[in-house]
Amino acid sequence: MSLKDALKAEADQLGFVLFGVAPAIPPPHYPIYQAWIKAGRQAGMAYLARPEAVAARGAPEQLLPGCRSILCVALPYPPPAPTSAESSDQTRGSIAAYAVLPDYHALMREKLNALANRLPELVGKPVHTLVCVDTAPILEKDYAFMAGLGWIGRNSLLLTPQFGSYVFLGELLTDLKLEVDQPLEGDPCAQCRLCVQACPTQALRPERSVDARRCLSYWTIEHRGPVPEELRRSIGTRIFGCDNCQLACPLNAQGIPGGFTYAQEPVVDPFPDLLAEFALTQPEWQAKYGQTPVARAKYAGFRRNVAYALGNAGDPLALPALQQACEQDPDPTVRDACAWALKQLQTN
C-alpha cells in the first residue's frame, strides 16, 4: 500500500468522508482574495485583512516552514431541516443548518491531530505538521479544490459531488512530499445561477466570492452593533445565519449517500419560537447555545437578531416584550433593534 493510500485509510477510519492531497503552492484564487480585501468586502472582519494573515494566505510555508503538501479532509453535516407548516409560521425564527450542531472545531481538530500523529509512524521518521481548522489564515476551499474534494461554486462554497456544500473542511499541513490529487473536472455552475438569484441581498459576486457587506450571515453572526437599516427587512425571521444560497443549489438537493451516519446531530431547534428566544435570560441562552456556533453572535447580538425578526414577523403579541426591552435592555444595540421592530409592528 502506498503512503497516500495508507493515509487515506487512516482518514476513512477517523470518519473523514473526503480526503485528498494538494501541493503547498500559492492558491489559485489568491489574487481574487487580495482584490476582495482591497475592495473592503470583508466588512468588519478586520482579522481577514491583517497584513501577516494576507501574506500567509498566499504562501503556506509561512504557516509551516518547509511545507510541501496539504492534506484536505471533510466532515459532512446534516442539511437544513425541511420546512413544515409549523416551521414556516412567522412566529418562528430560523437558524443556519451548521449552527444547530455542537461546534465542530474541537471534533475536527481531534481527528486531524490523530491523523498527524500517525504520519511519523507511517514514514518511520519525524514529520512536521500543522493542523488548520477554519481559524488559520489559509484559503482552504482553494486547497480542497486542488485536492479534488469538489468545485468552488458561485455561492463561494466548496461543492462536493457527494455531500454538496454541507461539509466542514480541515487541513493538515506537512513537510512531507506526498503524491498530489487532481482537481475534479467540469463546472457544475457553468449553466446555473440559482444561488445568485436566491440571495435576498445580492451578495454573491461574479468571481464567486461573497460581499460580506451585503451578506445576512455576516450581519447576523459576525457583526456587533446595529445592522444597516436598508438590510433589516431582508433579514426576515433569520436569527443566526442564512442558508438561501445553499438551499437553492441542485447539488444539495440530491440527498446524501445511503447508509451514512453523521458525526454530529442537531442539538437545538432550527426553527425556535421567536418570543421564547427573546425571553431567554443570559444564563438560559448560554446553557442552550453555549456549545453551538450560535455562541459567536453573543447574547446581545442574538437578541438584536431576534428583535429584527420579531419586527419582520409582524406578530402583535410581541409588542409588550419589545416595548419593555426598548426601554430597559442594557445594550443600546438591542434597544435600537427593538425600537425599529416596534416601528415595523406599528406601521404594518
Contact 137, 53 (CB under 8 A): yes
Residue with C-alpha cell 466542514? 168
134 is catalytic: yes
Give kind and range of the element (H or E) at residue 132.
strand 129-132
What distance separates the 2 farthest-apart alpha carbons in the chain?
72
Query: Between residues 144 and 318, which has the closer beta carbon with respect to ligand SF4?
Result: 144
Query: Between residues 120 and 200, which has the closer beta carbon with respect to ligand SF4?
Result: 200
Contact call for residue 221 and ligand SF4 (CB under 6 A): no
| Nearest distance in Å: CB 48, ligand SF4 | 16
Residue with C-alpha cell 442574538? 302
Query: Between residues 118 and 154, which has the closer beta carbon with respect to ligand SF4?
Result: 154
Contact call for residue 344 and ligand SF4 (CB under 6 A): no
Binding to ligand SF4 by CB under 6 A, coded x per residue (else -) over 226-265, reads ----------------x-xx--xxxx--------------
Q: Is 26 exposed, middle or buried (0-12, 13-18, 19+ CB in 10 A)?
A: middle
Contact call for residue 188 and ligand SF4 (CB under 6 A): yes
Binding to ligand SF4 by CB under 6 A, coded x per residue (else -) over 286-315, reads ------------------------------
Contact 297, 217 (CB under 8 A): no
Contact call for residue 26 and ligand SF4 (CB under 6 A): no
Q: Which amino acid is at 33?
A: Y
Q: Is 114 helix (H, G, I), strand (E, B) or coil?
A: helix
Tell me whether strands 94-95 and 238-240 are parallel, antiparallel or unpaired: parallel
Selected from 215, 239, 274, 318, the binder of ligand SF4 by CB under 6 A is 215
Q: Is 149 helix (H, G, I), strand (E, B) or coil?
A: coil
Contact call for residue 220 and ligand SF4 (CB under 6 A): no
Of 89, 134, 175, 331, which one is the catalytic site residue?
134
Q: Contact region for ligand SF4 (CB under 6 A) — 76-84, 167-175, 194-202, 327-335? A: 194-202
Rg (alpha carbons) of the chain, rounded to whole number: 21
Binding to ligand SF4 by CB under 6 A, coded x per residue (else -) over 145-164, reads --------xxx---x-----
CA distance 33 to 38: 9
CA distance 68 to 76: 27
Residues carrying an active site annotation: 134
Residues forming contacts to ligand SF4 in the complex (CB under 6 A) are: 153-155, 159, 188-189, 192-195, 199-201, 203-204, 210, 215-217, 242, 244-245, 248-251
